[in-house]
Amino acid sequence: MIKIALGEHRVILTKDAQFMKRRLVTSGTLRVLYIRQDNPQVQIRGVVETLSLNYDFKPFSRCLECNQALVALDKDDVKDLIPIRVSQTQTQYTQCPACHRIYWPGTHWQSMGKKLKDLQSEARGNHSSE
């Protein structure tokens, strides 16, 4: 994890207070954000604010496993790779070109999409009142 973070200029998020004492962290060589809150929504807000992230992004466009950009696929391309009930209810598919994981906009996608929109609305509401 540390090697990847250093090589790709990433920020590590942790709740491990002991991790914050590592020389790479205290020297500023490794960028780490210590997460103190337990509530996931509060955690997300804190990360977005601390890192000055933009809520306007393309959700579900990258692989959850390896962070590669997903590629759109036709239903025929994945019919033998997905559960039958999924092929009966879904028409939109994407796949990771690196690890070959397949994604579709099922109920989990919809639930996460709603949470992201709620966070975006909340952020815009907070910034518009300043």
DSSP string covering 42-73: HHHHHHHHHTT--S-S-TT-B-TTT-PBPEEE
- C-alpha to C-alpha distance for 90 and 85, rounded to whole angstroms: 9
- Please give the tally of structural domains in the chain: 2
Amino acid of residue 11: V
By percentage, how much of the chain surpasses pLDDT 90?
65
Tell whether the model's pLDDT for residue 127 goes beyond 70: no
Q: Of 16, 33, 53, at which residue does a domain stop?
A: 53
What distances in angstroms separate CA 128 from CA 28, 43, 48, 125, one per listed residue? Answer: 34, 21, 16, 5
Range of the domain at 5: 1-53
- C-alpha to C-alpha distance for 113 and 95, rounded to whole angstroms: 18
pLDDT digits (tens, 9 = 90+) for 62-73: 999 988 999 999
Q: What is the pLDDT of residue 68?
A: 93
Q: What is the pTM of this model?
A: 0.67
DSSP string covering 81-94: TS-HHHHHH---EE
pLDDT digits (tens, 9 = 90+) for 35-63: 999 998 889 888 988 998 887 778 899 99
Q: Of 53, 71, 88, at which residue does a domain stop?
A: 53
Same domain, 47 and 60: no
